[in-house]
Amino acid sequence: MPSSKGYAVLDAQSPLAPFNFSRREPGPTEIAIEILYCGVCHSDLHMARNEWGQSIYPMVPGHEIVGRVIAVGASSVKFKLGDIAAVGVIVDSCRHCAPCSNGEEHFCVQGATLTYAAPDRVDGSITMGGYASNYVVDERFAHTVPENLNLAAVAPLLCAGITTYSPLRHWKVGPGKKVGIVGLGGLGHMALKFAHAFGAHVVQFTTNLRKKEDALKLGADEVVLSTDPEAMNAHANSFDFILDTVSAPHSLDDYLVLLKKDATMCLVGLPDKPSSFGIFNMITRRASIAGSMIGGMVETQEMLDYCGEHNIVSEVEVIPIQKVNEAFERLLKQDVKYRFVIDMSSLK
């Protein structure tokens, strides 16, 4: 393996800075990829700053990876040299528990291995993510990419894409359903695209009406300013499903009262503080609050293939890696349309 270059944080307070490290040679079923693009997920920011209390330093973030295969293990069958491969949020699991056997490795009962800041099952080292020149991964945890899609705009599908595709599929969002998407950021704009493509009536909730025109272009049938009580009230008791992608603490009750009887609000956003909600708002409509995390390998490939067939990609702002700290700051100010993606050729 060539040595690896990347950007790392050394503790929860420091900015990302150049960092050199090494990765192991690919094993028999593993591939090595030269990373071309890596998306900047809000989870990278939560993790860099240890907002969930589970960070390990030094940390190279990044789990929306698209790259070119530069080495293949002797027994690998899925990729050949020069192919494009994509890697998301997990890179290993026990591979034999019930969820793993079912292609739902993200729910591995022993815990899936995260792409960064997790103990590697193969050599015990700490995984280093995709803000880097290369990655080594078992081919089971790498995906093929439809040839018709722009590679920079594919990268965010590996986290923002699958994290929204999976719950929308699980709760059978489609024609005849009224669906709300809360927050128009990286996850939110992919949720909007998918819910629209699945044929639902989609309402985008945002705290920023300047995003209204974009939301309509991305597939919203209606856009609601969530800080306007009258506008919110007009949708009381009307939603079949609401997907909440918000990264910061906010009221869940504002949305629970918009659900129909027996409807579900699914949380995918992961604020750094626990949420509370009024139980009366649930019992009076037999509502459910649910959660969902990324997706398994089978569904992630299904999502990528669906995107190829329907020409769906992320709206991206491509940046050189030298601007990644600025990108973190802009993410906090909700100043991104709608995902930053690092062009790794900038990594010198």
Residue 192 binding partner per list Zn ion, ligand NAP, none, with a CB distance cut-off of 5 to 8 Å that depends on partner kind:
none
In angstroms, the CA 30 to CA 266 distance is 35
Length of the chain: 348
Residue 318 binding partner per list ligand NAP, Zn ion, none, with a CB distance cut-off of 5 to 8 Å that depends on partner kind:
none
Q: Which is nearer to ligand NAP, 26 or 62 (CB)?
A: 62
Residue 177 contacts ligand NAP per CB under 6 A: no
Token pair recorded at residue 101? 């056997």
Residue 55 binding partner per list ligand NAP, Zn ion, none, with a CB distance cut-off of 5 to 8 Å that depends on partner kind:
none
Q: Which is nearer to Zn ion, 64 or 214 (CB)?
A: 64
Query: What sign does the CA torsion over 314, 291, 327, 330 have?
Result: positive
Residues in 278-307 at the binding interface with ligand NAP, rule: CB under 6 A:
293-294
In angstroms, the CA 27 to CA 122 distance is 9
Listed ranges 2-10, 92-100, 240-248, 301-309: which one lies at the site for ligand NAP (CB under 6 A): 240-248
Residue 158 binding partner per list Zn ion, ligand NAP, none, with a CB distance cut-off of 5 to 8 Å that depends on partner kind:
none
Residue 70 contacts ligand NAP per CB under 6 A: no
Q: Which is nearer to Zn ion, 194 or 239 (CB)?
A: 194
Residue 163 contacts ligand NAP per CB under 6 A: yes
Q: Which of 217, 215, 229, 230 is nearest to 182 (CA)?
A: 215
Q: Which is nearer to Zn ion, 47 or 202 (CB)?
A: 47
**131: CB partners within 8 A, 6+ apart:** 6, 7, 8, 16, 38, 44, 60, 61, 62, 321, 324, 342
Residue 186 binding partner per list Zn ion, ligand NAP, none, with a CB distance cut-off of 5 to 8 Å that depends on partner kind:
ligand NAP
Q: Which is nearer to ligand NAP, 169 or 250 (CB)?
A: 250
Q: Which is nearer to ligand NAP, 2 or 249 (CB)?
A: 249
Find the angle CA(291)-CA(236)-CA(220) to the nearest 5 degrees. 70
Q: List the beta bridge partners of residue 239.
A: 259
Listed ranges 35-43, 95-103, 107-115, 121-129: which one lies at the site for ligand NAP (CB under 6 A): 35-43
Residue 247 contacts ligand NAP per CB under 6 A: yes
Are 201 and 280 a contacting pair, CB within 8 Å?
Answer: no
Pattern 41-80, Zn ion, x by CB under 5 A: x-x-------------------------------------
Pattern 36-55, ligand NAP, x by CB under 6 A: -----xxx--x---------
DSSP 105: G
Single out the residue of 36, 100, 155, 192 in contact with Zn ion (rule: CB under 5 A). Answer: 100
Q: CA dihedral in degrees (27, 8, 130, 52; nearest 10)?
A: 100
Token pair recorded at residue 154? 């594919």
Single out the residue of 208, 238, 288, 322 in contact with ligand NAP (rule: CB under 6 A). Answer: 208
Residue 209 contacts Zn ion per CB under 5 A: no
Q: What is the 3-state secondary structure (H, E, C) of 140-187?
A: HHCEECCCCCCHHHHHHHHCHHHHHHHHHHHCCCCCCCEEEEECCCHH
Find the angle CA(98)-CA(159)-CA(312) to the nearest 5 degrees. 115
Are 93 and 100 a contacting pair, CB within 8 Å?
Answer: yes
Are 174 and 193 a contacting pair, CB within 8 Å?
Answer: no
> CB 52 → ligand NAP: shortest distance, Å?
8
Residue 164 contacts ligand NAP per CB under 6 A: no
Interacting residues with Zn ion (CB under 5 A):
41, 43, 93-94, 97, 100, 108, 159
Q: Which residues bind ligand NAP (CB under 6 A)?
A: 41-43, 46, 159-160, 163, 183-188, 206-208, 211, 245-248, 250, 268-270, 293-294, 331, 334, 336
